[in-house]
Amino acid sequence: MKKIIRVGAVAAVSALALAACASAPEEETGATAEATTGTATETVDFKACMVSDSGGFDDKSFNQSGYEGLTRAEAELGIEIASAESTTDADFAPNIEAQVAAGCDLIITVGFLLSQATVDAALANPDVHFAIIDDLADNDYDGTTDADNIKPITFDTDQASFLAGYAAAGASQSGTLSTFGGMNIPSVTIFMDGFLAGANYYNESNGGDVKVLGWDGKDGQFTGDFSDQSKGQNVTEEFLSQGADVVMPVAGPVGLGAAAAVQSAGDAWLIGVDSDWTATTDYADIVLTSVLKNIGNSVFDTIAETIDAGFSTEPYLGTLENEGVGVADFAEGAVPEAVLAELDAIKAGIIDGSISVDVS
Amino acid sequence: MSAETQTPAENPEAPAPEEPRSRQVLREIAESSSMVVFMAIVASMVIGGILVILADEAVRESAAYFFSRPGDTFAAIGDALGAAYSAMFNGAVLNLGADSFAGMIKPFTQTLTLATPLIFAGLGLGIGFRAGLFNIGAQGQLLIGATVGAYLGFAFELPWGIHLLLAVLGCALGGALWGFIPGILKARRGAHEVIVTIMLNYVALHLVAWLLSLEAFQREGSDNPISPIVAETAQYPKILGVQFNLHLGFLLALACAWGAWWLMERSTLGFRLRAVGANPSAARTAGMSIGTATIITMVIAGALAGLAGSAPVLGTQKFLTDAVAGSIGFDAITVALLGRSRPLGIVLAAILFGGLQASGPSLQVNAGLPVDIVVVIQALIVLFIAAPPLVRWMFHLPSPAHEKEVAA
């Protein structure tokens, strides 16, 4: 036993030593160093910062999308960035304060849970610019943003999920769709509203009788959190046993549990949310489409705009029209050609307002 | 259940009489459990530092050519460690970069603010541990306490003073109720408190999530699961002025620590609780009721955990969400163990944990380190505390001459 440990130790040390044998890079003088960074991207004297909610930047959901926008801005715009993950709600305010103290020019907070902390910090630091994702920063509900240095970034996700609902209704063999959420909160149920409205619209215009399980426009199926994948699997198996053949989970990583259930069933489709799940998950072959919420783009655009044209508190609203929301490509052959052909007209109708995405 | 060593102060006959006075003192310090705790903290900070070095990109890059220019690697290691430890110090103790006195001491006040709920909940758990109850339910007791306190805070309009008092009492009562349930189940039916309290944590969490889906607990005009802000009359006043977050709850926590000390060390009731914890059979033979002691302990522990809930809802966050408890209820278990279930120890351990938590934003924003490093350091402290022989072996500390075991 001792011998094995010794041999192992020698092997480990020599591996380390070999790994350390590369030649040193040439010393860079200050001037050339500056020149090389200058050629890669024009460096801008701007510091953008981001605070996550307790999901963290690896939540495969909106924190992650937002963070991708931030790192893209760092790479393409040559700005400085800093980020702070919150592990509990008690971290929100200190994280924002630390970023104010670190001299951030623009602080982006992710999610409605940070709303109050963002407003407090914005009122206390009127010279710092803030943006908040998925919230209007309107905590007294008077219809206006509570501080005049906050830019709200929100999304009309129901426009995109309406299209997904319509196409899913056309694709369903059993005439039963299903959806569930992580929690009954507006940024989740807006997906489900659009999905239900899209399916209803399909029924109206094609005389169909497609049902949607899991959401009735007011209440429905929720797993209670955004982390427990096994709950997503259970709920989905229940839906499948009731005859559903399309499932749209709106619960961040919990949706991966739904994907596992759909995959083992074999004859059902999954609709991804937030990002294109054919690219971001391992379940590309069962994904019918994804309802896209381009948070990353909105973050990048907000930063780019602030650098170019100065900070504006003009709310950003992601819609089908400005491609802030959308649907990904449909799985080949899953949706009938006739239905696919109608989608463009419906999209135009939603954009010009002639089709309402509200649940009637 | 973990065994614990009594400190020499409580065990004066321990050292050998022929040793000279100075050596005897040294030996007492080296043998004491406080020395082990201190060295455990040092060891975990060092290992945390090694992780910081390994995670640092500049170090890894320069280590690739270590043999051609080792100076770069050492410089990178120095930079990484310097940034990490100075960010921790600046974030938790004194901000040396600040341009005003207030800015300088702000980090320490933040540390005390974050320590406040940990003191409350740690005291409750500590009393439970000494009475032989392993209460894992501080999280649930805290949530229920926070819910009752927040509701009294935002739903009623009452004059200054009375409103705060009522909300604080509400927190304590809510927690006490949630502690009473496992207490009576254990006393009357023998249900094990570990299982019941863990399950009640889930019941509390989902109960709060459900309550927050009701109109009565939501803000007008919104469906988000966030309660209205607690009325100003029910908020803890800030004790050092508006620029600091430190609130009256901290002083209340210190008062509770004194109260817990008096209860356990000076009162008859505390003697009974300790006797039941040390040896239930002997206590029963001596005519003490185990069941009553269990219920009383759980109610006190629950009330203190409920008071921990007052720190976020009446002090810092000022509204209720289902995540208001964060991980306070579980961190408090560590704090109570770290503090050896003694009030003074718990206060100090809570301040240490508050400091680690307060350094989180600074570590991330100024040193660019993941917040997880703080969690790793906390976990390492627990690991070392749980294994005193490991720490004694690592630092060549002598083993205690007379190790007196008592049930915790």
pLDDT band, very low/low/confident/very high, at B77 (cuts 50, 70, 90): confident
Alpha-carbon distance A277 to nearest alpha carbon in chain B (angstroms): 27
Tell whether A142 and A168 lie within a shared domain. no
pLDDT band with cut points at 50, 70 and 90 for residue A21:
low
- Say what the pLDDT of residue A207 is: 87
Is residue A18, in this structure, part of any structural domain at all?
no
Question: Contact A54/B323, CB-based, under 8 Å?
Answer: yes
Average pLDDT score over residue span A260-288: 90
Residue A298 confidence class, pLDDT cut points 50, 70, 90: very high
**How many angstroms separate the CA atoms of A126 and A265, rounded?**
55
- For residue A302, CA distances in Å to A9, A78, A314, A321 come to 52, 15, 10, 17
Alpha carbons within 13 angstroms on the beta-carbon side of residue B280 total 12
On whether both A338 and A194 belong to a single domain, the answer is yes
Whether chain A has a CB inside 8 Å of the CB on B225: the answer is yes
Nearest CA in chain B to A117: B317
Is residue A120 in some structural domain? yes
Residue range B261-278: mean pLDDT, rounded? 91
Q: What is each CA distance from A256 to A88, A93, A237, A246, B243, in whole angstroms?
A: 24, 31, 13, 14, 44
Asked if B375 and A87 come within 8 Å (Cβ–Cβ), the reply is yes
Whether residues A249 and A285 fall in one domain: yes
Find residues 164-203 of chain B whose CB sits inside 8 Å of chain A: none
Task: Note whether residue A123 is domain-resident.
Answer: yes
User: From A219, which residue of chain B is nearest by alpha-carbon distance?
Assistant: B213
Mutation site for A-interface testing, chosen from B220, B224, B353 by largest number of A Cβ within 10 Å: B224
B220 contacts A24? CB cut-off 8 A? no
A94–B358 CB contact, under 8 Å? yes
- Taken as a whole, chain A contains a residue count of 360
**A63 and A134 housed in the same domain:** yes
Distance from CA of B100 to the nearest CA of A (A): 13
Structure tokens at A2: 């001792």
Domain annotation covers residue A251 = yes
- A133 and A117 housed in the same domain: yes
| Mean pLDDT (chain A, rounded) | 86
Q: How confident is the model at residue A289 (pLDDT cuts 50, 70, 90)?
A: very high
pLDDT tens digit sequence for B165-221: 999 999 999 999 999 999 999 999 989 999 999 999 999 999 999 999 888 898 877
Q: For B303-308, what is the mean pLDDT?
A: 96
Whether the per-residue pLDDT at A358 is higher than 50: the answer is yes
Cβ–Cβ pairs < 8 A, chains A and B: 115
Closest CB to B72: pick one of A24, A98, A184: A24
User: Which segments within B195-244 are labelled E, that is strand?
Assistant: none
* A183 chain-B contacts, CB cut-off 8 A: 209, 225
Helices (H), A207-320: 229-241, 254-265, 277-280, 295-309
Residue with tokens 């104010």: A100
Min distance B340 CA to chain A CA atoms (Å): 26
* Average pLDDT over every residue of A194-215: 92
We report the CATH number of the domain holding residue A80 as: 3.40.50.2300
pLDDT grade for A163, boundaries at 50, 70 and 90: very high
Predicted confidence (pLDDT) per residue in A302-341, tens digit: 999 999 998 888 899 999 998 889 999 998 888 888 889 9
Is A21–B65 a contact, with Cβ atoms under 8 angstroms apart? yes
Are B319 and A116 a contacting pair at CB < 8 A?
yes
pLDDT at A27: 56
pLDDT at A55: 79
CB contact under 8 A, B69 and A24: yes
Q: Which among B226, B326, B368 has CB closest to A88?
A: B326
**Is A308 a member of any domain?**
no
| CB hemisphere CA count around A205 (13 angstroms) | 17
For this complex, say whether ipTM is above 0.90.
no
Interface of A with B (CB under 8 A): 17, 19-25, 49, 54, 82-85, 87-91, 93-95, 97-99, 101-102, 112-113, 115-116, 139, 141, 183-186, 189, 224
Across the range B150-158, mean pLDDT stands at: 93
Which chain B residues are Cβ-neighbours of A50 within 8 angstroms? none
Closest Cβ opposite residue B360 in set A19, A91, A112: A91
**Cα nearest neighbour of B312 on chain A:** A90
Predicted local distance difference test score (pLDDT) of residue A201:
93
Separation CA A168–CA A288 (nearest Å):
8
Pick B65's closest partner by Cβ from A22, A99, A102.
A22
Q: Is the pLDDT confidence value at B20 over 70?
A: no
Same domain, A57 and A203: no
Task: Supply the pLDDT for residue A20.
Answer: 65
If you measure CA to CA, which chain B residue comes closest to A120? B317
* B window 108-167, beta carbon within 8 A of A: 110, 114
pLDDT band at A18 (very low <50, low <70, confident <90, very high): low
Same domain for A268 and A347, yes or no, is: yes
In a domain? residue A195: yes
Same domain membership, residue A347 and residue A208:
yes
**A24-50 pLDDT per residue, tens:** 666 544 444 444 444 445 577 899 999
Query: Are A59 and A110 contained in the same domain?
Result: yes
Same domain as A114, residue A206: no
Are B221 and A141 an interchain contact pair (Cβ–Cβ within 8 Å)?
yes
CA distance B1 to chain A (A): 29
What residues make up the domain containing A335?
157-293+330-352
Identify the band that residue B332 occupies on the pLDDT scale cut at 50, 70 and 90. very high
Residue A20 inside a domain? The answer is: no
Closest Cα in chain B, distance from residue A8 (Å)? 21
- Tell me the Cα Rg of chain A: 24
| A90 inside domain | yes
Q: Which helix (H) or strand (E) holds B75?
A: helix B70-92
B180: three-class secondary structure by DSSP:
helix
- With beta carbons under 8 A apart, name residues in chain B contacting A85: 364, 370-371
| Statement to judge: residues A250 and A345 lie in one domain | yes
Q: Which residues of B touch A22 (CB under 8 A)?
A: 64-65, 68
In this structure, the answer to whether residues A150 and A265 fall within a common structural domain is: no
Number of domains in chain A: 2
> Model's pTM, two decimal places?
0.78
Query: Does the CB of B258 have a partner CB in chain A at under 8 Å?
Result: no
pLDDT tops 60 at residue B1: no
Distances (CA, A) of A64 to A1, A55, A57, A204, B51: 46, 9, 5, 38, 24
Residue A87 has pLDDT above 90, yes or no: no
Q: Is residue B65 within 8 angstroms of chain A, CB to CB? A: yes
**What average pLDDT does range B281-301 have in this prediction?**
92
Q: What is the pLDDT of residue A40?
A: 45
Cross-chain residue pair A82–B364, CB shorter than 8 Å: yes
